[in-house]
Structure 1
Amino acid sequence: MSQGRFDHDVVVIGSGFGGSVAALRLRAKGYGVHVYEAGRRFADEDFAKTSWDLRRYLWAPALGCFGVQRVHKLPHVLVLAGAGVGGGSLNYANTLYVPGEVFFADRQWAHIADWRAELAPHYATAKRMLGVVEQYPHEGPVERIMAGAADDLGVGHTFRRAPVGVWFGVPGETVPDPFFGGDGPERTGCTLCGNCMVGCRVGAKNTLVKNYLALAERLGAVIEPLRTVTEVRALAEGGYQVTTERSGAWLRRDRRSVTAEQVVFAAGTWGTQQLLHRMKDSGALPGLPDSLGRLTRTNSEALDGAVAVAVPEGLELARGIAITTSFHVDETTHVENVRYGPGSNLMGGLATGLVPGGASLGARLAALVGGFLRAPVTALRLGSLRRWSERGIIALVMQTADNSLTISLKRRFGRRVLTSAQGHGEPNPSHLPGAHRAAQAIAARVERDGVVPAAARGSWPEVFGIPMTAHFLGGAVVSDAPEHGVVDPFHRVWGHPGLHVVDGAAVPANPGVNPSLTITALAERAMSRWPRRGQADERPEQSALHDAEHRE
């Protein structure tokens, strides 16, 4: 459905938490919506059985791997992201927290609105759509270990069960849609297999294909998988030309172009930033704000953990969903347990011993070598990937600290690629002392409850001063003026009100919790302000917003 001048009313780039909300809400308002997704479409049975099935687990399309797990490298961070119809919901950990007050009060946007109040109804909608269970309902060894570690650190009062987006039902029992009055797909009760982040083959995980995208397609939105958007170009007569090619193609790229009156960027923070930077560099989108790339966040994140030499059969560390509990080490540092299911041991290759924070690379490597020489047999057994997911607990550590990176383009071997530099606030941390304290406390509890030797573990990227994050955010943030961010308070790109950013790239601060619910709520708010097709747009024009900012 278009207005005649354009092939589509709206093109949505990406089908993750922001893109899926846009697809459903705009189609419900009468717009013709076409969604391009770089990844493939998965039925439940298409997901990898374990992370060792690289073709179905990893995203490296040029090598024939069309899985759910993206890995991107910048000088200052290693980024883990999602791929496929449903975006990051396919391999995220189902964890849906509302951030604390520090996030809403961040100086980047606190003066624009009372964001906690403004977003409250949209968080409620997002929770209903994503099927949030406010507290994980099961208890096992990991949950008791986490509670004990919190007590040992003196922060037991902060321990809680995680809010999660899973249909628990009766394990293994398939029932008609229990969420949307029968309009959604049938669901199967969670079996606690632990492989949420490899892809839920059971059908219990509330991925976006089970809610927003299923309902959007039912209304007539079109989702085209395995198409990578390579260019968005402003047209002289208004609207935009969107060019795509076949994902991962070396030769027959099948390049195509369509026109759209409006475009929604929702390709994930990495994908959205990369595309906007390239379009600014090439001139395809003239006048994009110079603030593009600033205030890129990593959720001030680290991944450490605890691994035991061996685990008794009764200590089922891999049984449960991906994340089930959390506690706060201090006011700014939030810790969650993370698990993979039995057999999914690939990510264990990133683990190594803890190294001293703030030390030189030589000192960090010397610490690893020294630890190995002191106890080589134990070090080899701890480093083994055999039953890695069943022998340990990953500690995902996030902070509300005000640190950031600035992302830009550089040319390398004739290609334009993203690079990073330290940005506003404190330097993006390569070491979190709270993460080490948490990992050591968890390891002590694993050792006590498992009656076997256990040790806190770090990661190889951390050894080389490069933290990992599963929550890459910002760079095209909500702002009061183009000098301060890329989008206005209604998520329209400054200077291009027909362009919109509704994914993690628009998030202006470190939430200190898993950001998926916040991205969904922000997208719900942005889409709620769109007029129905053919009706007057009541949002203020950008010139009025900018003038108001300068008057103040």
Structure 2
Amino acid sequence: MYDVAVIGSGFGGSVAALRAAQAGKSVVVLEQGRRLTPQDLQAGSERATALLWEPALGLHGYFRQSLLRHLTVVGGIGVGGGSIVYAAVLLKPKSYDAPGWAAAGVDWGTELEPHFELAGRMLGRERNPQRGLQDEWLQQAAELLGVGDTYGATYQGIRFADCIACGQCITGCPHGAKQSTDLTYLAQAEALGATIQPLSKAEILVPHADGWRVVLRNPMTKQVSSVEAREVVLAAGVLGTVELLAACRDRWGTMPELSPMLGRRVRTNSEAFSAILHPPGTDISEGATISSDFYPDSHTHVTNNRFPKSYGFMRWYLSPLVAGDRRRQTLKAMLRHPGLATANARARDWHKRATVLTVMQHADNEMALEYRKGRTGWGLRSRIPKGVDPVPVSLPQADAAGRAVAEVSGGRAYSTALESLLGMGATAHILGGAVLGAEPAQAVVDADHRVFGYEGLRIMDGSVVPENVGVNPSWTITALAERACERWLSS
């Protein structure tokens, strides 16, 4: 019987593990992925087969792609969670004025400030001092769009004195420069006696008189086991947290009192992408994955992205950026100009010539996740509720930024084929689904992250975030977890 079982080892879970261990509690961290070595990360930067996680296909890497009807979601699997494959960008939301934040009855701007400061120190937040050709083009694009004054270098969780500018942040840093949670929070938690148990996917939560039983399955061997704990912190990421809780409520019947808001108000950070293939001979691979950004308007944020060699598989995801009816015009472009349409897929040294722009917004749009049985078994399904603005498939700001970078670099702009041909969005920053609020009719957890109806169960990951934050959310998730732990453990 542990005092605390933490499910997930990303930003929120790692905070919970360390703070509980510092409070003298016995802690076990349950992570479905592997513990990774620098050699694993280097291999993941070189070969897609070493990077991708899909055990059913014999792929045991640490980068996962989850396909839903309306959306593709990408993230990290392994000790360190999403921090392994994040680009280390640490930015705050511009405001907390949206209704979802206000519903919890907390002045989040004031409450979170000291926790942002603490989380920033723990994650090694510094301003990126590097500047390369890709950054110059991004600045020129911002100037072309009339917002050059918003351009700047990003703040990141990277120890730049040790950074060799290899562009491998997004496949994990094998050099120890990126301050992922396995090197920071989790390392300190282990030093205090916390147990980290990889290859342990939580499948059922069973509350009982003395606490909780967590039923686990090894995703490789399928062996079933369990762990007992007095309290549980759930931090499995949006898809993992929502699926686990929904399975307990709707399939196994162990948690029937969960809020009906579970799976609702899911956000994509209003995210969209555009890509640019630069002329032959270009090499923009030197630098951190993300190094600079700008704001095309007051609620939209744009960052650049570099990729290591293993990300070459992404070339097959892209299609020409077109105006008008996306599907029709994309098919027309492919038929009329097949050479140009497939130039991206045929490009040599794609990772040296490609820029991908991530575009996020502080905007009100949403979707929902449901857990039900389909032709392929039980699982999450996405839907768009009536009466809401749906999550975006594409954004005009992303298109404009892509065209601007293409113009200043002499390249060609692309969008994603899933977006253009299938009407599916994509995000690396999914949020919501177990949002915080004042009562179970409107939220899954209270302002202290306690799950309504279930003593000793808390959620500390992106699923509690009630609104799109409009920038990379990792710092916000970490600060929220720091605040939640302070209120939990001080009481």
Which position in structure 2 is the counterpart of 1:126? 119
Q: Is the 8 A contact 1:343 1:387 kept in 2?
A: no
1:330 aligned to 2:303? no
* Backbone CA RMSD of aligned residues: 1.6
State how far apart, in whole Å, the 2-side matches of 1:155 and 1:519 are.
29
State how far apart, in whole Å, the 1-side matches of 2:145 and 2:345 are.
26
Residue 408 of structure 1 aligns with an amino acid whose one-letter code is: E
State how far apart, in whole Å, the 2-side matches of 1:377 and 1:276 are.
48
State how far apart, in whole Å, the 1-side matches of 2:195 and 2:16 are.
12
Q: SS at 1:210's partner residue?
A: coil
1:511 aligned to 2:469? yes
Q: SS at 2:229's partner residue?
A: strand
Measured after TM superposition, the shift of residue 349 of structure 1 is: 1.9
Corresponding residue to 2:226 among 257, 265, 270: 257
Measured after TM superposition, the shift of residue 502 of structure 1 is: 0.2
State how far apart, in whole Å, the 1-side matches of 2:363 and 2:176 are.
36
Q: SS at 2:182's partner residue?
A: helix
Corresponding residue to 2:97 among 93, 102, 105: 105
Residue 14 of structure 2 aligns with an amino acid whose one-letter code is: S
Measured after TM superposition, the shift of residue 205 of structure 1 is: 1.2
- Alpha carbons of structure 1 residues 369 and 296: separation in structure 2 relative to 1, 3 Å: closer
Which position in structure 2 is the counterpart of 1:213? 186
Q: Is the 8 A contact 1:10 1:33 kept in 2?
A: yes
1:245 aligned to 2:217? yes
Which position in structure 2 is the counterpart of 1:300? 270
Residue 415 of structure 1 aligns with an amino acid whose one-letter code is: G
> Computing the radius of gyration over CA atoms, which structure comes out larger, 1 or 2?
1
State how far apart, in whole Å, the 2-side matches of 1:307 and 1:446 are.
9
Corresponding residue to 1:166 among 147, 153, 158: 158
Which position in structure 1 is the counterpart of 2:148? 156
Q: SS at 1:410's partner residue?
A: strand
Measured after TM superposition, the shift of residue 286 of structure 1 is: 2.3
1:441 aligned to 2:435? no
Q: Is the 8 A contact 1:233 1:284 kept in 2?
A: yes
Residue 420 of structure 1 aligns with an amino acid whose one-letter code is: S
Q: Is the 8 A contact 2:128 2:160 kept in 1?
A: no
Q: Is the 8 A contact 1:15 1:85 kept in 2?
A: yes
Structure 1 residues 319-328 or 340-349, which shifts more? 340-349
Measured after TM superposition, the shift of residue 311 of structure 1 is: 3.1
Which position in structure 2 is the counterpart of 1:400? 362
State how far apart, in whole Å, the 2-side matches of 1:284 and 1:56 are.
37
Residue 413 of structure 2 aligns with an amino acid whose one-letter code is: A
Structure 2 residue runs of 5 or longer lacking an equivalent are none
1:144 aligned to 2:136? yes
Measured after TM superposition, the shift of residue 63 of structure 1 is: 2.6
Identity among equivalent positions (%) equals 40
Which position in structure 2 is the counterpart of 1:451? none
Q: Is the 8 A contact 1:48 1:57 kept in 2?
A: no
- Alpha carbons of structure 1 residues 385 and 505: separation in structure 2 relative to 1, 3 Å: farther
Residue 422 of structure 1 aligns with an amino acid whose one-letter code is: I
Measured after TM superposition, the shift of residue 508 of structure 1 is: 0.8
Measured after TM superposition, the shift of residue 473 of structure 1 is: 0.9
Which position in structure 2 is the counterpart of 1:77? 71
State how far apart, in whole Å, the 2-side matches of 1:206 and 1:325 are.
18
Structure 1 residue runs of 5 or longer lacking an equivalent are 1-6, 170-188, 448-453, 538-552
Mapping for residues 297-446 of structure 1, pairs under 5 Å: 297-312=267-282, 316-342=283-309, 344-356=311-323, 359=325, 364-413=326-375, 415-423=377-385, 425-446=388-409
Measured after TM superposition, the shift of residue 344 of structure 1 is: 3.6
1:18 aligned to 2:12? yes
Q: Is the 8 A contact 1:408 1:419 kept in 2?
A: yes
Q: SS at 2:100's partner residue?
A: coil
Q: Is the 8 A contact 1:245 1:254 kept in 2?
A: yes
- Alpha carbons of structure 1 residues 209 and 473: separation in structure 2 relative to 1, 3 Å: same
Measured after TM superposition, the shift of residue 428 of structure 1 is: 1.2
Which position in structure 1 is the counterpart of 2:200? 227
Q: Is the 8 A contact 1:48 1:56 kept in 2?
A: no
1:275 aligned to 2:244? yes
Q: Is the 8 A contact 1:91 1:199 kept in 2?
A: yes
Which position in structure 2 is the counterpart of 1:172? none
Structure 1 residues 386-395 or 11-20, which shifts more? 386-395
State how far apart, in whole Å, the 2-side matches of 1:355 and 1:64 are.
37
TM-score by length of 2: 0.96
State how far apart, in whole Å, the 2-side matches of 1:412 and 1:52 are.
36
